[in-house]
Structure 1
Amino acid sequence: MKKIFFVALAAVALSACNSEPKFKVEGEVSGADGNMLYLEASALEGIVPLDSVKLKGDGSFSFKQVRPASPEFYRLRVEDKVINFSVDSTETVQVKAPFTDFSTAYAVEGSPNSTKIKELTLKQIQLQSSVNALIQTMQAHKIGADVFEDSLAVLLKNYKDEVKINYIFAAPNTAAAYFALFQKLNNYLIFDPLNSKDDIKCFAAVATSLNNYYPHADRSKNLYNIVIKGMKNTRTPQQKVLEIPEDAISETGVIDINLRDMKGNVRKLSDLKGKAVILDFTIYQSATSASHNYMLRDLYDKYVGQGLEIYQISLDADEHFWKTTADNLPWVCVRDANGVYSTFASAYNVQSVPAVFLINKNNELSARGETIKDLEAAVKALL
């Protein structure tokens, strides 16, 4: 009798578990016979495996999972090809995709947010492709560094403006708006929540909406914390304005800079007298940083033997990120802890980053970025 009681109790518990509301994702992957299809959660802490199936001839699949308490993100994966989608409640998401172009040629139904996520994914892929093509054109010396930088800036601005208007501010309470915030270019966030006041506004809009609808959700809390940190990093510090003696300027020919490198050593700009110097203000944790550094590396490799040096100042809020990135660069890398409110950047009237200045071998300011029509030609003229 006791045994029957415990079996019945276990059956009741199992029934209660199975009765939890669930969402379903189903569909077909054509041409994938014998391949494994994985369902994974894109959680805050990383990718979490949920289920898998070995696809047969018709490629059909069906997964069920307990619905999330608030909008969450999931993905289907075949080999290293991924389809991202979101789930709000107990909907059924239908996905049909070919194995070959799994990540781009799929069709999704039953989830308007997932349709928007597909649109964003394809736009980001196109942006990355355009940037890669621009880099190749620059490396083949078909365009100058100035044209490269201007073109890169236009590509990024146009992309961000479109996404802001049509995906973030148009519906900040949606999973698609949240997804848009964390898209990447060159493995860096396109929208920078730590260093850009304009981008922080995008994060704040989504954070406010999420907090209104899902105040207890982990994603809401995490996004709110990101916004607070970004606002703190970009708040104008109460600090003494940098005062530079006139004799120091006339003696060196430039406004001298003394900041510490990764090893803690003070590196002075004026110590580079005798070399032609590219003075560069940048933020490594930005979408344009990698492409900008490709351009600088190309110039550096060509002319370092002729007396070129680069003095690069990071305005990154994240010191660890700066150290990790700058560790692989061959030129002088320093960081200003005041970030976007760097007194040195202010002294050089830096309006946006990256910002490039040229200094001749006599330690005299020769040109600033917006006046340089051909950076490589200008560098060669100083050597």
Structure 2
Amino acid sequence: MKKILREFLPLLLIGMVLFACKEGKTFKVTGNITSAEGDTLYLEHRGLAAVSVLDSTVLKNDGAFSFRQPAPENPEFYQLRMGGKIGVFAVDSTEILRISADASDWYNSFTVEDSPTNNQMKEVDALTRVAARSIAGLEDQHKAGSMDDMAFIGQLDTTLQQYKTAVSKLILGNPSSATAYYAVFQRINDWLIFDPYNKQDYAMFGAVATSWNRYYPDTERTKHLYEFTMNALKTRRKQEQQAQLFENIPVEEGMGLPDIVLSGVDGRKVALSSLDGKVILLDFVVYSADFSPKHNIDLNNLYGRYHARGFEIYQVSFDSDEHFWKTAAANLPWITVRDQRSVNSTLLATYNVRQIPTAFLINREGDIIARIEDYGQLAGELDKVL
């Protein structure tokens, strides 16, 4: 018997060590969900490609639950789901997390105890919900006609900037954290709030990608983030090169410019390129704005002076109210078209329009020779080219 124990004991000890190592590479989620007796609680992984179910349990009267899973290589994202209720949390390696919630007030009561990272993620969620509600309210006012296009653009920008200011502090405070990764990928209406193609927003992605690449190299999530960020950088640099076409005066000859084909007041489509051979003022406006009446009166004076010499105006409206635009544009002597996408038009980004009104003066060869933001300079520019 003693011989058997002597032979078996080393194997037993090795087994215990291996078991202990295996146990050390797990994380545990435990807690209580009240007001949910008989409901099924799921533990799910929020992967890069999809959400996958890891485990589940039927809650009893006390709402107690406990899940154990292999520890991730990097900060990873999981969720507890019960019906349509979802609570997101992060796990950093071998943790024991205690989570509590009241099913009758899920989002306000969902709490990961003693976890600064998850507290910050909850703060990001709260800020995102506030911004989403604010934007939804602005969209409703805009659609109802109680807010004009210019006011909508201004207030939307203010809402987003306030959100970004608050969340940027959390990101830059610890860019290698789960909170930072979680924050840069927040969405409203399926759109990323931080735009990786915007120079200022890109800095947030760059900071997180650099930190994760340093602390969690070669992991799947880090590779995805780094590739996403680098691709955005390449795209943004191409956009910046294109934008220089509209910033630099004069531009290189023969570069040309993106064509525009939109419908006029009579419903027929008119292409900007159809005016080849004329000196063109490409004018971006909003007819419902306060500046519009005086703006068009001033343009009409110039049009009367220069039209016979080969001057034409191609005026693009971003008014959301089609009827208002048609009424205002009906008697104008130049070409007026409307982009029905209004403030969401890609033309604003394509032509790098930072303010309304903005115009570009195009010579007979189709090259941009001036960017017009101060319309008082337009007559002088026309005298040079006509």
Tell me the TM-score normalised to structure 2 length.
0.64
CA-to-partner distance for each residue in 1:252-271, whole Å, 9 max, x for gaps? xxx9851589xxxx972476
User: Does the Cα contact within 8 Å between 2:284 and 2:359 map onto a contact in 1?
Assistant: yes
CA-to-partner distance for each residue in 1:166-196, whole Å, 9 max, x for gaps? x111111111011000001121000111x21
| 1:184 has 2:184 as partner | no
Please report how far the alpha carbon of residue 33 of structure 1 lies from its aligned counterpart in structure 2 after TM superposition.
1.6
Q: Structure 1: how far apart are the matches of 2:359 and 2:32?
A: 58
**Unpaired runs of at least 5, structure 2:** 1-10, 251-255, 263-268, 276-282, 287-317, 331-335, 361-371, 376-386
Q: Structure 1: how far apart are the matches of 2:90 and 2:374?
A: 43
Number of the residue aligned with 1:61 = 65
**Quick check: which has more Rg, 1 or 2?**
2
Q: Which amino acid aligns with 1:258?
A: D
| 1:258 has 2:286 as partner | no
Out of 210, 219, 222, which is 1:220 matched to?
Answer: 222
Number of the residue aligned with 1:310 = 338
Once the two structures are superposed, the pairs formed by residues 231-310 of structure 1 within 5 Å of their partners are: 231-235=233-237, 236-237=240-241, 241=245, 258=259, 268-269=271-272, 298-300=320-322, 309-310=337-338
CA-to-partner distance for each residue in 1:330-375, whole Å, 9 max, x for gaps? x9x9978xx96x5xx15xxx237xx67699xxxxxxxx9999xxxx
Q: Which has the higher helix share?
A: 2
Please report how far the alpha carbon of residue 145 of structure 1 lies from its aligned counterpart in structure 2 after TM superposition.
2.1
Out of 126, 134, 140, which is 1:122 matched to?
Answer: 126
Number of the residue aligned with 1:44 = 48
CA-to-partner distance for each residue in 1:193-224, whole Å, 9 max, x for gaps? 1x211111111111111111111111211111
Matched residue pairs, number?
294
Cα distance change, pair 227–256 in 1 and its aligned pair in 2 (3 A): closer
What is the DSSP-based 3-state SS (H/G/I as helix, E as strand, rest coil) of the residue aligned with 1:82?
Answer: strand
Cα distance change, pair 17–36 in 1 and its aligned pair in 2 (3 A): farther
User: Does the Cα contact within 8 Å between 2:319 and 2:325 map onto a contact in 1?
Assistant: no
| 1:30 has 2:34 as partner | yes
Please report how far the alpha carbon of residue 300 of structure 1 lies from its aligned counterpart in structure 2 after TM superposition.
3.6
What is the DSSP-based 3-state SS (H/G/I as helix, E as strand, rest coil) of the residue aligned with 2:127?
Answer: helix
Q: Structure 2: how far apart are the matches of 1:127 and 1:334?
A: 22
RMSD, aligned CA: 4.2
Q: Structure 2: how far apart are the matches of 1:60 and 1:297?
A: 56
Q: Percent identity?
A: 33
User: Does the Cα contact within 8 Å between 1:42 and 1:74 map onto a contact in 2?
Assistant: yes
Tell me the TM-score normalised to structure 1 length.
0.65
Q: Structure 2: how far apart are the matches of 1:141 and 1:335?
A: 22
Number of the residue aligned with 2:171 = 168
Task: Flag the structure with more relative contact order, 1 or 2, with Cα contacts below 8 A and sequence separation at least 6.
Answer: 1
Please report how far the alpha carbon of residue 141 of structure 1 lies from its aligned counterpart in structure 2 after TM superposition.
2.8
User: Does the Cα contact within 8 Å between 1:91 and 1:110 map onto a contact in 2?
Assistant: no
Q: Structure 2: how far apart are the matches of 1:239 and 1:178?
A: 30
